[in-house]
Amino acid sequence: MIPVAGFGQESGLTLAVFDIDATPPIGSLLAYDPLEQTDDLGLRAKGVVISGSGLPIVICAIDWIGIANESQDAFKESLAKAASTIPSRVAVHTLHQHDAPISDWGAEKILKDAGLDPKGYESSYDKVLLQNLEEAIKEGLKDAKPITHIGTGKGIVEKVASNRRILGDDGHVAYTRTSSTKDKKIRDFPEGLIDPEVSLVSFWNEEEPVAVFSYYAVHPQSYYLTKIANPDFPGIARYMRQLAVPEAMHVHFNGAGANVTAGKYNDGAKINRKILAERLAAGMEKAWENTVKTKITKEDVYWQQEPILLTPKESIPEIAKEMHTQNARWLTNNVQKLAWYNRQALGKKIDISCLAIGDVRMLHLPGELFIEYQLAAKAERKDLFVTMAAYGDYGPFYIGPASAYSEGGYEVGTSPVTAEAEPIIMGAIKKMLHRDISKNNLDSPLVLEAESENPLRTLEQWEEKKASWKNNMASIMGTLPSRAHLKSPEVNYLDSTVEANYTKHHISFASDKRNEVTAFLYIPHSIKVKAPAMLVLHSTGDLGKKIVDGQGPLENRALASELAERGYVVIAPDYPSFGEQKDHDFATDGFASGTILAVWNHMRSVDVLTNMSEVDPERIGVIGHSLGGHNSLFVAAHDTRLKAVVTSCGWTPFDYYDIGEAGIKNYGGRLGPWAQDRYMPAIKKLLPEAQLPFDFTHIIASIAPRPVFTNAPLNDSNFSVKGVKKGIAEIQPVYNWLGYPDNLIVKYPNADHDFPPNTRKEAYSFLDNVFGFTPVKKLDFEK
């Protein structure tokens, strides 16, 4: 555990820096060539950890050509672990120098599985670098400094960038201006569309600069294929600024430079590396001289992200066939696109993130973006200081604006995405740039240290907080048995029914030595790749699982069969004492409560799903109404494999639970219904005026930042909508604090204790969005 004291002042913002060598050993394979020699400067991995406003934020820039797909996952997880935060609060970028490594563990696996040499994707040095980064971050945190001000400045960079795409009279690309353009005719065309500004964001401890971020959009090549690992002219410029301002660490980011090179000002002569570096450094110096400082507090800092799923070109799977006959350079430029395509097919999204500090917005984007994205982002909020770092997740490679795809040219020809990328990316950018961050509430009791006014600062502290809530739940519910060395359930298929779009299996399996689960298992006929799956929990009723199959007397309850119709794999178990479990004996089942037994059985149902070849284990959610609504929350609080929760008419804070005088008399107290053997009998000892040590606000907060959708009808007689509104207001700061304000969703339909069609439509759309899933069929009420 990292001690809080290592983060500097406990109540304010701090910043730690890290800077290590990222040059692989001689003999390693770079992106395009074997490494025979290193440059005097070498390659660097540099970054910062910002603490004090939510969990720590890690921003890292590496002198590599690209880090993509599974490698991005690995880098974010590793850096997050070192900084005691979560991976979504980590941004990893490359500067895209070409005489440098490339990393994509997904591409490496594709090549190895095909019996091919992974070439530049061989990952042994990646793991060395990750270990070194972890150690550097831990060491840096010991010397974290307070941050009191942020500085911003801009400077014009003269004679470096030029647009590489030169259009002819017909509106199509006629010439391409590469990084080193030998043809004078092509060099002599106008600069074209570029962003001439280099933007600086600096972090200060009063009068002392601690770190400086610089942003400039251009392909960072003067010449390459030298077999010498080097940071090229941006690395030299960064080093020159480090010499000029040695007290601060300088971190450089490449902006949206996919269609921008130094080709107009570089004919490939070796001297131009020095000249281009000096010109970029001169622009950085102007930006430094123009810097204006602004005082900041922890309330001014906010991290957010928008996950996106880009549409791939239909031709991408052809890469799998071509790679058997292509050379190493072709593999470097293409296999990561196939790895990205495979992830996209499984709904794996890419985060676009934004660090907001006062009036500054630092955007973090994937791939090789065209300059149009950077200029559009700046134009969107001219009242803010907007910067853009591209070359995050390198999987989607070139990403042009919609107009570029009809113009032709190398970039869009090799791009794995379509023109649909522009509205998706710009929609995410606009949403983040226009978000009101004034609601960054850091004094919610749910995110404060116990009996303290200090906000939680580390993941360890957050996990301890959640553990205390779980212990309070356990004092009433009881505890789960150990899942260590737990074997997968052996499923008995009792009978099957073939429907038009799915097959429904009646199954049973032992959940432990004493208890059995009976369930319906729905497998859609349409599955081509691993599908998302749902655990569907029924409401109170003797029919048990038949309720969610649509066999009950009430409408709007057929959640299981509806989701199966839409293409989800579904498992719908009986709750103990209902359905086939109607004769369940709570006195002999070995569990402290019916609630915790249900949680155990539901988790065993998730075990069944995760072992199915048809199911993507990373896309499993839970949904339930009434009894199933609060059990959806209970099981999700215990099982992090459940990535999305839909709870319908399932909760209100216990203080708002009111069954009326007659009910209180009948049950022995206001919370008497919860004290039944099938729920939490320990409550009996606390009646009549039971005060429980946990509440639904703690349960949902412990699920955060996973997405939770609540259906809370205005006229629900079971669960007070007034209480839901108060509870949501208490929980929202937790989602804000974690950087996921939109992951807490609540709908208030004008209905009774029901799950009306329009709200189910919204809930199903919510699940589709979370899982990146396009349903195979729209239900009648969704059309």
Same-domain pairing of 119 and 258: yes
**Which residue intervals of 346-491 are DSSP H helices?**
371-380, 410-414, 421-433, 459-477
The pLDDT of residue 143: 96
pLDDT digits (tens, 9 = 90+) for 512-527: 999 999 999 999 998 9
Tell me: pLDDT of 439 over 70: no
Contact 199, 167 (CB under 8 A): no
SS3 content of the chain, % helix, strand, coil (to 5): 35, 25, 40
Place of tokens 């709007």: 556
Query: Looking at the structure, do residues 511 and 380 belong to the same domain, yes or no?
Result: no
Is pLDDT at 5 greater than 50 in this prediction? no
Q: What is the pLDDT of residue 442?
A: 75
- The verdict on 414 and 508 lying in the same domain is no
At 2, is the pLDDT very low, low, confident or very high (cuts 50, 70, 90)?
A: very low
| Residue 321 neighbours by CB under 8 Å, 6+ apart | none
In a domain, 362, yes or no: yes
| Position 5 in a domain | no
Choice between 66 and 12, residue whose per-residue pLDDT is larger:
66
46-to-61, 167, 211, 569 alpha-carbon distances in Å: 5, 38, 11, 44
Count of residues making up the chain: 783
Whether 156 is in a domain gets the answer yes
Q: Is the peptide bond before 705 cis (omega within 30 degrees of 0)?
A: yes
pLDDT band, very low/low/confident/very high, at 17 (cuts 50, 70, 90): very high
404/517 same-domain check: no
- Helix and strand numbers (H, E) in the chain are 19, 33
> What does the block give as tokens for 652?
């209100």
pLDDT at residue 452, rounded to an integer: 74
Q: Tokens 């008419």 — which residue?
A: 649
Query: 6: number of CA atoms within 13 Å, CB side?
Result: 17
pLDDT of 4 strictly over 50: no
Q: What residues form DSSP beta bridges with 732?
A: none
Whether 9 has a pLDDT exceeding 80, the answer reads no
DSSP lists the bridge partners of residue 622 as 535, 645
pLDDT at residue number 531: 97
Same domain for 139 and 282? yes
Indicate the range of 434-448, 465-479, 669-683 predicted with least confidence: 434-448
Q: What is the mean pLDDT of residues 181-197?
A: 97
Torsion of CA 313, 314, 317, 319, to 10 degrees: -60
Residues above pLDDT 70, as percent of the chain = 98
386 with 497, same domain: the answer is no
Q: Fill in the DSSP letter of residue 34.
A: B
Q: Give the domain-ending residue among 408, 439, 470.
A: 439
pLDDT, tens digit, 9 for 90 and up, residues 550-603: 999 999 999 999 999 999 999 999 999 999 999 999 999 999 999 999 999 999
DSSP labels, 364-397: E--SEE-HHHHHHHHHHTTTSEEEEE--SB-TT-
591 and 684 inside one domain: yes
DSSP state of 190: -
**More confident position, 39 or 509:** 509
| Cα-based angle 464, 127, 217 (whole degrees, multiple of 5) | 95
Over 70: is that where the pLDDT of 258 sits? yes
Query: Whole-angstrom distance between the N-terminal and C-terminal Cα of the chain?
Result: 52
* Alpha helices, H only, 626-720: 627-638, 660-667, 696-703
Q: The CATH number of the domain where 655 resides is what?
A: 3.40.50.1820
Q: Within this chain, do residues 637 and 713 fall inside the same structural domain, yes or no?
A: yes
Average of pLDDT values for 105-115?
A: 97
Q: What mean pLDDT do residues 677-705 have?
A: 96
Q: Which pLDDT belongs to residue 494?
A: 96
What is the average pLDDT across 472-495?
96
The predicted structure's pLDDT at residue 582: 96
Angle 530-415-304 (CA atoms, 0-180°, nearest 5)?
A: 65
Residue 1: is its pLDDT beyond 50? no
Pair (415, 515) in one structural domain: no
Based on the domain organization, do 411 and 498 belong to the same domain?
A: no
Give burial (CB, 10 Å; 0-12/13-18/19+) of 449: middle
Burial of 576 (0-12, 13-18, 19+ CB in 10 A): buried
According to DSSP, the β-strands at 145-146 and 744-747 are: unpaired
> What is the distance of C-alpha 330 from the center of its chain?
30
Cβ atoms < 10 Å from Cβ of 427: 13
Q: What is the pLDDT of residues 217-229, one digit of tens each?
A: 999 999 999 999 9
pLDDT over 70 at 498, yes or no: yes
For residue 673, say if its preceding peptide bond is cis, omega within 30 degrees of 0.
no
Closest CA to 716 of 748, 744, 763, 745: 748
Please tell me whether residues 329 and 430 are part of one structural domain. Answer: yes
Q: Tell me 556's DSSP state.
A: S
The token pair at 681 is: 């009998």
- Of the residues 402, 417, 439, which one is the last residue of a structural domain? 439
Does residue 479 form part of some domain? no
Across residues 498-520, what is the average pLDDT? 97
Residue 535 placed within a domain: yes
| Angle at CA of residue 202, ends 201 and 207, nearest 5° | 150
Q: Which of 520, 525, 554, 552 is nearest to 536 (CA)?
A: 520
Residues 421 and 523 in one domain: no
Asked if residue 243 belongs to a domain, the reply is yes
Number of domains observed in the structure of the chain: 2
User: Which of 439, 455, 471 finishes a domain?
Assistant: 439
Alpha helices per DSSP H over 668-779: 696-703, 721-738, 757-771
Closest CA to 231 of 257, 252, 258, 259: 252
Percent of the chain with pLDDT over 90: 94
Residue 311's Cβ-side half-sphere holds a number of Cα atoms within 13 Å equal to 11
Summarised one tens digit per residue, pLDDT across range 604-645 is 999 999 999 999 999 999 999 999 999 999 999 999 999 999
507 pLDDT higher than 90:
yes
State the average pLDDT for the chain.
95
Confidence label for 109 from pLDDT (cuts 50, 70 and 90): very high
Q: Which domain holds residue 735?
A: 491-768
CA distance 333 to 513: 54
Residue 609 maps to a domain:
yes
Instruction: Please report the sign of the dihedral spanned by the C-alpha atoms of residue 139, residue 142, residue 143, residue 147.
Output: positive
What's the mean pLDDT in 321-344? 95
Does residue 774 sit within a domain? no
Residue 457 CB partners (closer than 8 Å, separation 6+):
4, 7, 10, 51, 52, 55, 56
Element (H, E) at 314: none
